[in-house]
Amino acid sequence: MPDQSVPDQSVPDESLRAHMSPEEFRRQGHATIDWIADYWASLDGLPVRAQVAPGDVRGLLPPSAPESPEPFDAVLADLDRVVVPGLTHWQHPRFFAYFPANSSPAAILGDLVSSGIGAQGMIWATSPAVTEVEQVVLDWLAEALGLPEAYRSDGPGGGVIQDTASTATFTALLSALHRASGGAVRRSGVGGTRWRVYGSTQAHSSLVKAAMMAGLGEDAVRTIDVDASTQAMDVDALRDALLEDVEAGLRPVMVHVAAGSTSTGAMDDVAAVAEVVREWGVWVHVDAAWAGVAAVCPEHRGHLAGVEAADSFVTNPHKWLLTTFDCSTFWVRDRAALTGALSILPEYLRNAATESGEVVDYRDWHPQLGRRFRAVKLWAVLRTYGLEGLRAHVRSGVALAARVADLVSADDRWELVTEPSLSLVVFRLRAGDEETMAAMEAVNASGEAYLSHTTVEGRAAIRLAVGSWRTTQADVDRAWAALQDAAAGQGG
Ligand SMILES: *Cc1c(COP(=O)(O)O)cnc(C)c1O
């Protein structure tokens, strides 16, 4: 008789020893939070911009991973030795470059919880709370921003957290193509139709990237001129472009409306754009990545007038609204176009809840399948600040920017390039482009503050965007003092 006994295939628990014990995790977790709190406390004394040359950080790291385990303390210690000197400190109170990428204590704890739970929320069934908390939080935020009813999850539309506004814009374009093609794009691609996408010369570069990724090619994006003083889209020029394109047999599919452009915070007129494109059924996508969150304040909703007519809207709580990257909130008026473009149901994801049609499966709302529980950090922010606290944060940024604009206006050497937009001030040295850029570089090199630049109507300008959760008037004044010194250095 053959031997019927089962061979001993038990696996030793050896591998478990490699993990931190729960007690060790607790200890290291406390130490890590302490490290973050100490890091924040140290920021004021650190130069804002990284002070390293290419390769400096790499040079401090061994060429290979360690063969034997090291304690986590060793990783923490290397944060100070290797990482911190190679950082530009985005949470620094005098970080005024680009737009803020705000974090906040509440958001970080929320993010940590999300990591600790480690759930995949790709479909409702894989963790119902991940989907339903996200739906409710996005409904809350839509209401807080005064967005149209149609964007709520209990209507035909709904909201979803995307990683970035770039992905949201790409998703909007796919939805627009789905609707305009009656589903043909989903089945057989963009085909021979000569699709056209519109945005102003100031539209974010993610629009062109979206056209490239969607297979339309960058030439499919027609850029529309802006008004020289406001930098907002010239809506008459948009109308002319549409008429010309339709005449030439092209198919207009989407218009990108910048509600707060990246360069100067320019506000396209949402209502006027929507009115112009209406007769061709063009999808209206409002890109309010930076400025949209300001609408928590009723007095800062003016730039969204007409948003009821938009098909989709994106704003980034991860910029100005205290929610650790990544958290880009995206709403659509009619989710059928979105899920029509992106839904796909492989056998292994079939489940009763999906088939019942009673639940939302977020994997159909964006390019990727897997998704983390990002809603929890936004939930933490909305609850612990309250809308009141968020309004106070936005208002302080706007007030500090107004202060900078006053300082610029009061000094003959400097001039405003555009009217300040919310918490963004764009200005230059009257002396010229070279002097302006040299002054900015001097401030950035000093580490005293960090600013970025743009060009407006062909001339160099400095951008100062307020918005960090730790910025006070004293910080803005220090940045201004550094600019004054730099201007004097330019013979101003
Ligand atoms: C910052 C910004 C973007 C891109 O944001 P990501 O989330 O980094 O993709 C798009 N549009 C505007 C107007 C922006 O200011």
* pLDDT profile of the chain (492 residues), mean per 10: 64 71 95 97 96 95 95 95 96 97 96 97 96 98 97 95 98 98 94 94 97 97 97 98 97 98 97 96 98 98 94 98 97 96 87 89 96 98 98 98 98 96 98 97 97 97 96 98 92 60
261: which residues sit within 8 A by CB, 6+ positions away? 200, 202, 203, 204, 231, 267, 268
Burial 142-153 (b: 16+ CB within 10 A, else e): bebbebbebbbb
- Same structural domain, 178 and 266: yes
CA of 427 to the centre of ligand 1 (A): 21
Last residue of a domain, one of 38, 66, 87: 87
Q: Which atom of ligand 1 is nearest to the CA of 163?
A: 7
State if residue 165 touches ligand 1 by the CB under 6 angstroms criterion. Answer: yes
pLDDT of residue 191: 87
In a domain, 275, yes or no: yes
State if residue 168 touches ligand 1 by the CB under 6 angstroms criterion. Answer: no
- Same structural domain, 317 and 358: yes
Last residue of a domain, one of 342, 372, 402: 372
- Same structural domain, 352 and 476: no
- Same structural domain, 244 and 335: yes
Q: Are 258 and 203 contacting, i.e. CB atoms less than 8 angstroms apart?
A: yes
pLDDT of residue 491: 64
CA of 324 to the centre of ligand 1 (A): 15
Q: Which atom of ligand 1 is nearest to the CA of 288?
A: 13
In a domain, 312, yes or no: yes
In a domain, 63, yes or no: yes
- Same structural domain, 415 and 360: no
CA of 59 to the centre of ligand 1 (A): 33
Q: In which domain, by residue range, is 436 found?
A: 381-489
State if residue 204 touches ligand 1 by the CB under 6 angstroms criterion. Answer: yes
In a domain, 105, yes or no: no
Q: Which residue lies with its CA nearest to atom 5 of ligand 1?
A: 165
Q: Are 316 and 325 contacting, i.e. CB atoms less than 8 angstroms apart?
A: no
Q: Distance (Å, rounded) from C-alpha 262 to C-alpha 290?
A: 8
Among 468, 309, 484, 338, which Cα is nearest to 408's? 484
Partners of 416 in beta bridges:
427
Partners of 197 in beta bridges:
221, 254
CA of 285 to the centre of ligand 1 (A): 13
pLDDT of residue 3: 59
pLDDT of residue 273: 98
Q: Distance (Å, rounded) from C-alpha 47 to C-alpha 447?
A: 4
- Same structural domain, 183 and 315: yes
Q: Which of 207, 262, 421 should be mutated for ligand 1, with most atoms under 8 A from CB? A: 262
Q: Distance (Å, rounded) from C-alpha 193 to C-alpha 458?
A: 35
CA of 289 to the centre of ligand 1 (A): 5
